[in-house]
Every structure is written in C-alpha cells, then in structure tokens.
Structure 1
Amino acid sequence: MVLVDDGAMILRLGGGLEFLCQLDVSDASQRQLEVSRSFADLRSRVKAESLVFSLTDSALFIWPNKSFQASLDDVDESTACGELLQYVRSEDDDGGGKKKKKDKKSVVPVVNLRFMMEITEPTEPSAPCLYRENKKHHCIRMVLPMDCVVTVRSDETFGSSCKRLLRALSTQLSEMEAVTLRHMKDTDVPVPRPFHFSLPTSTELVTIVYPASVDDKGLESFRKELHNRFELPDDRPYFRRSNAFHFPDEPYKDGYLRNPHNHLNHPNIEGAKPYLVQGVYSYHHYMQDRMDDNGWGCAYRSLQTICSWFRQQGYMERTVPTHKEIQQALVDVGDKPAAFVGSRQWIGSIEVQAVLSHLLGVTSKILFVSQGSELPSQGRELANHFLTEGTPVMIGGGVLAHTILGVAWSETSGQIRFLILDPHYTGGEDLQTITDKGWCGWKGPEFWDQNAYYNLCLPQRPKAI
C-alpha cells in the first residue's frame, strides 16, 4: 500500500449516528422498507447545514455544508491539509517524562476529526398533533459507529478533502444499510461496524462493513467475494477483522510492542537483500504477564511471539497461549508427563513444533544445523522462508532460544546478517532501549555459539481465506 509517500496523509472522521426505527412485527417487506427509510433519513442529516466537523485536540470547528464556515479565521476551503497539523495539540513525551522515540521510517500522519450535529435555533411554537394507532411495532434504537477515512496529499485543499469525507459518510451509511438488510432476522437488527484494510492491490485504505453479530467463519463466502473483487489470492486472509489496519497514532490495548524491527535500519552489506517477516507480531519476552520465567522461558516466549503472528494475521482467534497452556498441550500430545505442567523446565524447537500443531493446527519444518558455524550456509533456506511463508522462526541451541525475524543475505558472496528478536530481555516495553541495546537487532554469524548444534522451527502458513 502506497501510504509511505512523504506527501501522504490520512484524514479519519468518526462519530455516532443514532438509528431509530419502528418495525412492523407482522410484515417482513414493510420492516425492510422502514429500515431503508431510516437510513435515508440519516443520509439526509449528514447533508444538512447543522453538520459540524471538529478537529481532535484543537479549537477548530468546520461547517462543511454551510459554505465551509470555520471557527478560526485563518482556515478556509483553500487551506492545505498539511497545515492542519499545526492546530493539533501534541504531547512531546510519553507521560513518564521520557521523549518518545522517533521512527527511523516515515509514519503517515493521521488527522482525526469528529462529527456532530449543531443544535438548531428554536422555532415558533405550534400546537402538537396527536393521533393513535393500535398496531404492534418493535422499536430499534442503536448508535451506528461511523468511521471514515480518506488518503490525501498534504497539499490538497481541506475544502475538497471535506467533500470527500462527506461522500464517504454517505457511502458508509449505504453500505451499513445493505449489511443490515442482508443479515436482519425478523426484528433482530445487527449493528454494522466498519473496518479498514490495507491491501497490496490498493493505494488507499479499503473500508468494509461487517455485522457485529456474525463471526469470521460466518462471513467466509463474503470474504471470497471481496478477494475476487480486489484480485487477491485465496490462500491467505486479508479481510478478517484481525487483519484490520492499525492506525499509527493508536496504542495497542494489551501493552505489547508490535514489530520493533520496523524501527531499525537494514545492514549495509554489498549485494545483500533483506528478507523479512511479513505482517504483524507482538514482542514476548522474560518477565511479562506477571510471570517470572527468567532463565528458563525463552523458548516459551519465542513460541508466544509466533502465536501472536498467527493471531494478528487472522489465522486464529484464540489468545496467545500461556506457559501453563503450552505445557498442558505437550502433556496432551503425549510428549511430556503430567508433572510437567507448572514446572520450570525448558522446551526446544521440537516442542514448539508440537504445540503449534496441537493448538493452532499449524505445520512446521525443522531445520537441523550441527554447529553454529554452519548457520551462515542456511541463508538461502531462510531467505526463501521469509519470502514465501513470512512467519517468525524459532531457533534453539544449547540452553538458549531466539526468534529470527529475517536475514540480509547476499546470494553472490554468501554474507549474511540475522535479524534477531531476543526473548531474554527482562525490562519494560521501552522501544528505544530494546532497539538501542540490541534486544531487537541485526546480528552477524559470530552471534551464534560456533560449536553448539541448533534446531530451527519454521512455521508454515495455512491455506485459508
């Protein structure tokens, strides 16, 4: 997705629209008609002069349907989108007195806006008209979670961008209507929710509306239609909810760091190409989750990182397994005795393979290397793995386990560097410490014990949609 263009920005508009509808209990066609009327009413409301956009964390308000009125004198239709950033109040620290680490790779700015409805002026009082009708109705009342995005260039005018946001609002309401009509059963109306996806075949985020009450399995046929529409392969997921785009200005709620390797520069090796993990993973390491596994849990943490990758790529919905769940899985498959559960015993690549198979249904290749000095000769094998499968690799040797996230390898000279995620880290989720101190970093062949044997577990992608 071409969102790393230096001139690209994302405008994101959110807010809630109250959906009200009275459904005839006995007439199905009439129920659908009433739902459509309610959505049509909402589409007319977003075209009204009372609609207001507010720039988050600023004093800027815009009336896009009222000749583009703005609360600040120096903002008008011709204002460039890039100039909006100066009006947003930002924090220079992370709340603990430390400066935020600046990304070494460009991050697309996200400008957040909210919409609301202006309270209208009071009109002349008039006598109300009342009538009574004896008929059974079912009243539906819910808040539609509107969430629209447009990708713009920083030099694009804010006036034209607001028109695009207005069209996106109206389009999203129509898509919500279609989803509601397709999945409503009698008077049971699902809440439609929008999700944004970054696709290799699109230069902008693609928004898809799903019914909240239907799980991913129930939407498989619809996802197949989406794969065909966007000309995507049907052997890996792109449109599951866990594949949704994560905006760079939003923290992850679980507290784990994602993809710390993205903040590193590639090693400078003549003729070498980087072959990296594809997608998103969480960094799991010693002492997390109130678990003291210092000295014995490195392979467990590497396995958790691998499981997080499968979860965040949409291959599984279950949570990342705990140490105890990993141990129980090994007991269940007959690899360990019952007393293993709750112990502080190490595991290796073979056990990681068994757990991935048992808990996730994932197959893995095992690569045996008789001594660490031979690991550089596996450059082609590892490069091919990251090129085709793209999953993190667990490597165990002696009493240590690490996660390999990629290699920089020269096919002509054979020179190689390994991108290592080290589970032995015991500190907090401090990105700067982790990258500066090498807990996530590029390592040369000397990193490995030259005389120890190593087993590598290379998880394979399932064929799924």
Structure 2
Amino acid sequence: MVVADSQSSDTGTVLRLRGPLDFKCLLDSTDALLVHRLISSTFETLRSQVKSESCVLMVCDSPVIIWPNGGVHVTPEEISPDTKCEDIHQWIQTDEQESVGKRSAKKKGRKSAAASVINLRLMMETTTTGPASAPILCRTVQKSHFLSTALPVDCVVRVTCNDTIKDAFERLLEALTHQLHEMEKVTLQHMKGTTLLLPEPFHFLLPEPAGLVTVVYPAGVPDSQLEAQRQELHQRFELPHDWPCFKRANAYHFPNEPYKDGYLRNPHLVLTHPTLDNGKAYLVRGIYSYHHYMQDHVDDNGWGCAYRSLQTICSWFQQQGFTERPVPTHKEIQQALVDVGDKQVSFVGSRQWIGSIEVQAVLNQLLEVTSKIMFVSQGSELASKGRELANHFLTEGTPIMIGGGVLAHTILGVSWSETSGQIRYLILDPHYTGAEDLRVITDKGWCGWKGPDFWDQTAYYNLCLPQRPKTI
C-alpha cells in the first residue's frame, strides 16, 4: 500500500483514467522466488503495453480518442496535440444536453459541477499493421497454474488551463506506469502461494498541498489489518493520528458520480453562512447522509424523527471510516435498546418515540461511540450555548441530535459571535417527507440556518453530542 500519485483537485481539470488491464500469468513452478519473478515479468509486460502505440485513451461520452504514444495522435481532426486540455470539455456530451456533439456543448456556455473531471477509458488495440503470417499452433502437456484477472486501473492527474493534450497525457501515462509499479509491490507483498490478491487503487482528498492522493490496497484485506501502512502515510503527509484519513470509507467521491444508495450527502454545503458581527461558523466535519421521514419504504411520519437523526449520525461515523457497520434500521435501533435493557421486547416493531438518551445508548451499543448529554431546561437557554456548541464542532466535528417535547432535529453547526453572543444554528430537519430534491430541501428550509426563536422558548431540550473515537 503506497502513494501512487498526488495532485491538487480544487483548481483546473482532473484527468481520470480507468479501465481493466488483463493480467495473465502462467506459473509452471511453485518456487516462491520464481513465482515472484514471473509476476514481476507480467507487470513489466503491462507497463510495456501502456507505453506502446497500441495504447488508446478514449474520452468518455465523446468522440475524442487519443493515441498518447508515438507522437500523440488525436481524433477528431479538429483536435491536435497542442490543443488545450480544457477544450476537451466542448466535445463531452452531458446528461443535461439534448443534442449530440461539439456544437451543443458550446451552446451551454458553462460547465456543470461535474465538468472539472474528464473521464477516460483505457483500451488496447488488438489489430496491428505489418506483414501477414500464418498462425502456428504448438501443443505442450505440463502441469501449471494459470493466473488471470483484470487489474482495475484508476489514476488521476490535475492539469491547468494552459496544459496541452500532449503534455497532460504524457503525465497521465507516467502516473499509470507508476501505479502499475505500486500494484506490483502490493501484489507481491500480499501473495500467498499462487493466490493473488487484486490490488485496488483508492483516491483520498487531503489538505493542501497534498491534494488528491492515490493509495493502492490489496482487495480482501480489511482496514483493521492495514493500520501500520496507514500510520506510515499519516507520518508522510504530517496528518494527525486521531482521524482515519486513509480508510477505504474515506475515499474521495468524485462530483460526477452519483451515490448508489440514493441519499443526499451534505446538503448544507450549498447554503450561505449567516452574517454576524465578528461571527464565525463552526460546522460538522466530513460527510453524512440526510435521513428523514418516509425513506426506505418506512412510514414513520409523526414518530420517527429521532430515529432519522440517529441514522444521519450513524452515517457520519460510517462515511468517515470510524465504523464499517451499515446505518441501522428502525427495528435494529429498537432491538439495540432492548438488548441494553432500556426497553421491553414489545418495543421492537412499535411506533414509539425515542429521545436523546436512547440515541446515546444506541450509539454506544451499535458503534461503541460514547456521547455527552447537554441538558437545557428551556429553549431560551440555547442562545447562550454558543461556546459549548462551537467547541464541539471544533474538537469532535460530529452531528448533534437535539430532542425537545415531541420533536427531534440534527444540528450540523453554529455561527456564533464571541463578542456579541449572536448565534445561528445549522439545522437538518428529519421531518421532511419529500423526494431527494436538494433545491426543495434548501429553499424550503429543511436544511438551513435558524435563529434562537426556532426553539420552543419554554420547552426543555436534551442534546446528544457524539464523541469521535481517536483512531487512525
């Protein structure tokens, strides 16, 4: 497991090259040294292929095809090796465009959020030019072990608006060649006999100047067995040792790829921070899923708000790599409360409410996460809790569940002025019953900034503040 490439991803365009490379190796010996030599020889053959003139890179959703070796050849003919990389965007057909081709893309006049990534497909020409020759067949009888798999190549480089296709794709092939070297190291390191563990690349977005970093892990080896490698990476990039930056769950999710589970992620990111005198925003750190009424074919309208807030919190721990456990269902939450002796068996499958204390118990039971409870005797006191809440988001960075009366909400952050005491709360409302429409959710305030008058001034509130495990 090693760094394969590192590039900043917040400016310019990212070229992302993916595609399977056929790995085929005939092992006629079980001698470990010979097997390693044969594996290395096969990887060397693959590196020779990507440097050959038969290597072809196809820009996804476009007619653009690039032969990066032997003088860089590009089609269509309007594109030359000296064309700026950014101009490739004009040829890419997005889902938003009704017509096909370069002209329709130009009519749009602007890029979508996903346009900062150019996806490419790695291919190899199977036909070659040259004198024809008759095929020769040879039959050999021997015992051997044949390894065959598809290496999931996935490498990225960042290019600027001034980079030409020739320069950018030379760098991309260098990154690809380097990644094959890293795949070879991981394969040899984790190979057992003639069993090959597939090397898988993952991208991680780190603070600048590191940017987007690629790491190769062996498939089938859990994160729990890779802690030593992660510690080495944390030291290399001078990262804190209390946050699992390089666990697979923390892998970077490219903006042009939808999440397969259908949940919205981090809807608060499109909101503008409130303006307060000398105010500063303190926000949840990392990625969470928005869980609300009526999802997952469960009609919990009127009773499941705290369950949904708890699910949002659990999603945060899962997507930051603190746990591999899936987000629990309502019944799993109820069963956890029965298991800890908080509820009777009849509670499972019921439509009974839960509150902050139950949320605390479930987090401890299912995720082994401890929580602090903040008791507020009446809603008017929440306006004076700016320092405590700001400190929580600075030190822990986890979503907060707040329950009062019959309502539960999720607090994702606060904007607070230490000088004036002014405060605004970033609220994620689990009572929403509609579709996963980001515009509706933010425009209608289901995710939005609220003032102190949002809370019932006379009702009591309990806040569950999950504490982040200190782990690498």
Into which bin does the TM-score normalised by the smaller protein fall? over 0.9
What amino acid does structure 2 have at the position aligned with 1:419? L
Mapped pair 1:280 → 2:287: yes
- Residue 60 (structure 2) pairs with residue 56 (structure 1): yes
Shift of residue 107 of structure 1?
6.8
Note the C-alpha offset of 1:52. Answer: 0.9
Name the SS of the counterpart of 1:401 in structure 2: strand
The reply on whether 1:302 has 2:309 as its aligned counterpart is yes
For residues 393 and 127 of structure 1, do their structure 2 counterparts lie closer, same or farther at Cα, with a shift above 3 Å needed? closer
Q: Which residue of 2 aligns with 1:4?
A: 10
Which residue type is aligned with residue 41 of structure 2? R
- Structure 2 distance, partners of 1:218, 1:122, is 50
Residue 2 of structure 1 and its aligned partner are, at CA, apart by: 5.4
Q: Deviations over 1:134-153 (max 9, x none)?
A: 4x311000000100101121
Question: What is the TM-score when the length of structure 1 is the normalising length?
Answer: 0.94
Matched, 1:32 2:68: no
2:197 to 177, 180, 190: 190
Alignment size in residue pairs? 453
What residue number does 2:440 align with? Answer: 433
Q: Map 1:180-259 onto structure 2 (within 5 A).
A: 180-259=187-266
Equivalences for 1:11-410 in 2 at 5 Å? 11-92=15-96, 109-118=116-125, 119-121=127-129, 123-126=131-134, 128=136, 130=138, 132=140, 134=142, 136-410=143-417
Shift of 1:57: 0.6
1:100 counterpart residue number:
none
Q: Tell me how far apart the structure 1 counterparts of residues 130 and 263 of structure 2 sit (CA, whole Å).
A: 51
Q: In structure 1, what is the Cα distance between the partners aligned to 2:131 and 2:318?
A: 55
* Distance apart, 1:25 and its partner CA: 3.9
Match of 2:104 in 1: none
Q: Distance in 2 between matches of 1:345 and 1:254?
A: 27
Residue 50 of structure 1 aligns with an amino acid whose one-letter code is: S
- RMSD of aligned residue pairs (Cα, Å): 1.8
C-alpha contact (below 8 Å) 1:151/1:204 kept by paired residues: no
Going from structure 1 to structure 2, the CA distance change for 1:233 and 1:15 (only over 3 Å counts) comes to same
Structure 2 CA distance, aligned partners of 1:246 and 1:347? 33
State the identity %.
Answer: 62
- Structure 2 residue runs of 5 or longer lacking an equivalent are 1-6, 99-109
3-state secondary structure, aligned to 2:226 = helix
After TM superposition, give the deviation of residue 204 of structure 1 in Å: 2.8
**What is the alpha-carbon distance in structure 1 between the residues aligned to residue 113 and residue 381 of structure 2?**
37
Normalised by the length of structure 2, the TM-score is 0.93
3-state DSSP class of the match of 1:394? strand
The structural deviation recorded for 1:128 is: 2.3
Q: Report the equivalent of 2:3.
A: none
Amino acid at match of 2:195: D
Amino acid paired to 1:3: S
CA displacement 1:340-396 (0-9 Å, x = unmatched): 111111000000000000100001011111111110100011111111110000000
Q: Residue 254 of structure 1: CA displacement?
A: 0.3
- CA positional deviation for 1:108: 7.0
Q: Can you give the 5+ residue segments of structure 1 that lack an aligned partner in the other structure?
A: 95-102
